[in-house]
Amino acid sequence: MELYVVKSGDTIYQIARRYSTPVDDIIFANQLQNPDILSVGQALIIPNHETRRTVSRGDTLYSIARRHGVSLQRLVAANPQVANPNRIYPGQTIVIPADGGQMREIIVNGYVTDATDSTLNATLPYLTFLSPFSYRSDLSGNLTPTFRLNTTLSGGHRTANLLTLTNLLEAGGFSSQIAHAILTDQAVQDAFLENVEALLRQGGWYGVNVDFEYVYQFDRESYNQFLRRLTQRMHRLGYIVATALAPKLSEGQQGLLYSAHDYASHGQTVDYVVLMTYEWGYTYGPAMAVAPLNMVRQVLDYATQVIPAEKILMGVPNYGYDWTLPFVQGSAARSLTNIDAVTLAGQVGAAIQYDQAAQSPFFRYYDGDGRQHEVWFEDARSLRAKYALVSEYGLAGVSFWNLNSLFRTNFIVLESMFNVEKVL
């Protein structure tokens, strides 16, 4: 993989000639909505030169992978046109990707709430765990699914599924009261755990992922005790446990989002900890990077002091925001995909800039009513900078929020740096 930043006067055809790469390959890798419109400052992925071979009688993807010295996972990911990896036919053309056999394997988790089958099928090769979001609990410990997926429990591409448990309200938003009931009322907690086990017995789950947010500070130790009980029970049944934690900078950080999340206790108890290292730039806040690298680094500096690094999954956002300027308290930014952000820049003729401290791209533009906007999002450069932290801090891997929309660039960057561990 190579990375090119568009300059004034560039066209997709000139760039393709420069790298001796087919135009269609660049369009596909970058999901270009209008290839004739490029924005100055836009980061483009230039796919690696690949070799291709024709399937012979008796070939399997496994035998081809061994013959060419690449992992089966990378070979499957490089051939999305193969509908069933267990069945290939003589005469088919198979793409052989660059060798990634010497790269480190990492754990990759992805949350998803509502995705098409095509998006999931393109995403699953790059995931260790899929965490459908979510089963929400009520005040009595009953569990109700809130995601809308057809292929959630298919086990496709050897991706393991985690049962995600939340204290969400039916109308949306996290409920401190629901968390309090589960954590402190023995009858409610017993019912909650029985309901979890009932879901697990239906099959298709590898473990549970607990995302309790806005927990009362006075419920901190109750939360720790609950996790110890849950983990003992899950391990006895052969399941793993993960938790999601707010991005704290210190043990004593105050605020309803932070105070009950005991990093050290979670790190001692569960198998994996997802650090939600995003939402510095958020819907109701001022314009800034969603996951500025300097802030993510501060969270990791603290987290790796109290949680084993090999248990930590660093959160990575798969979206951006469009804010109207000047920021007014109570106003809301518009969420948009990374692909939509780049398309918007091209439509309004905005040059994309890159903030070195945040290691994130952004641009400004004026709408039809003369209002100025500021857009922050993720691109190949920002993702590469984030993934470098995984190696620097020796983390277990990463966790995406969320994978409802396909951002192909993300996975091309990921597989250029790591192999994805598969537990199935």
CA distance readout (Å), 310 to 185, 186, 237, 242, 307: 33, 33, 23, 13, 8
Closest alpha carbon to 397 in 110, 123, 41, 118:
110
Only one residue has tokens 């704290």, namely: 248
Peptide bond into 134 cis (omega under 30): yes
Half-sphere CA count of 227, side-chain side, radius 13 A: 30
Strand partners for 324: 373
**Cα 23 → chain centroid:** 28
The span from the CA of 328 to the CA of 332, in Å, is 9
Q: CB–CB of 72/65 below 8 Å?
A: yes
The span from the CA of 13 to the CA of 19, in Å, is 10
The span from the CA of 309 to the CA of 393, in Å, is 7
What is the number of helices (H) and of strands (E) in the chain?
A: 13, 20
Please state the φ and ψ torsions of residue 337, each to the nearest 5 degrees. -75, 165
| Catalytic-labelled residue, pool 170, 194, 213, 392 | 213
Alpha helices of 274-419 — where are they, by DSSP H?
A: 293-306, 338-348, 380-393, 408-417
Decide if 213 is catalytic.
yes
Closest alpha carbon to 266 in 237, 303, 234, 295:
303
| Residues noted as catalytic | 213
